[in-house]
Amino acid sequence: MEPNLLVMKGTNLGEFEELILLIVGVLYPDAYGLSIRQEIIAQTGRKAAIGAVHSGLNRLEKKGYLLSKLADGTHERGGRRKRLFHITAAGKRALEKNHELRNSLWNQIPDLAWKNLLYGDSFE
C-alpha cells in the first residue's frame, strides 16, 4: 500500500528515524514507545528521552512507514493501553533503500582506500 500522500511529511528517513524503524523490527511484535527506548539505550548506548522516541514514532507513522494499534493495558501502566508498532511495506522499502545505498557506496570504495589509512594526522 502506498503511504497516504496527504499525511506524508516527505519520505526522507532521518538517522534517528531509521534507528527507531530498525528497532521496531527487532522488537517485533512487542515494539512500543518505552521498549523501543530501552532497546535503543541497550543497543547503541545513546540516551533518548521518551518524548523523542514518541516523536520519532509519530513522524514515521505519518510518513507511512509504521502502523500501530492499541494493545491491552497492564498493571504497571496503571491499566493504560500501549501502542504497538509494526513496519509497513513502505517502511521496509525505505529501510532497504537506505541499506542498498549504503552497500552500494561501500562497495564502490576502492580497496586502495583502505590501505595506508590515516589516523587523524595531517594529509602530508
The contact set with other proteins (CB under 8 A) reads 32-34, 49-52, 54-55, 58-59, 70, 73-74, 76-78, 80-83
**36 with 84: CB under 8 angstroms?**
no
Could you give the count of Cα atoms lying within 13 Å of 102 in the half-sphere of its Cβ? 8
Q: How far is the CB of 75 from other proteins (least distance, A)?
A: 9
Distance between CA 39 and CA 48 in Å, rounded? 11
- Of the candidates 84, 81, 78, the one whose C-alpha atom is nearest the C-alpha of residue 24 is 84
Nearer to other proteins, 69 or 115 (CB): 69
Nearer to other proteins, 42 or 49 (CB): 49
Nearer to other proteins, 22 or 82 (CB): 82
- Of the candidates 9, 3, 15, the one whose C-alpha atom is nearest the C-alpha of residue 95 is 15
Q: How far is the CB of 53 from other proteins (least distance, A)?
A: 9
Nearer to other proteins, 80 or 97 (CB): 80
Q: How far is the CB of 104 from other proteins (least distance, A)?
A: 33
Q: How far is the CB of 89 from other proteins (least distance, A)?
A: 24
Query: Which H or E run includes 33?
Result: helix 33-44
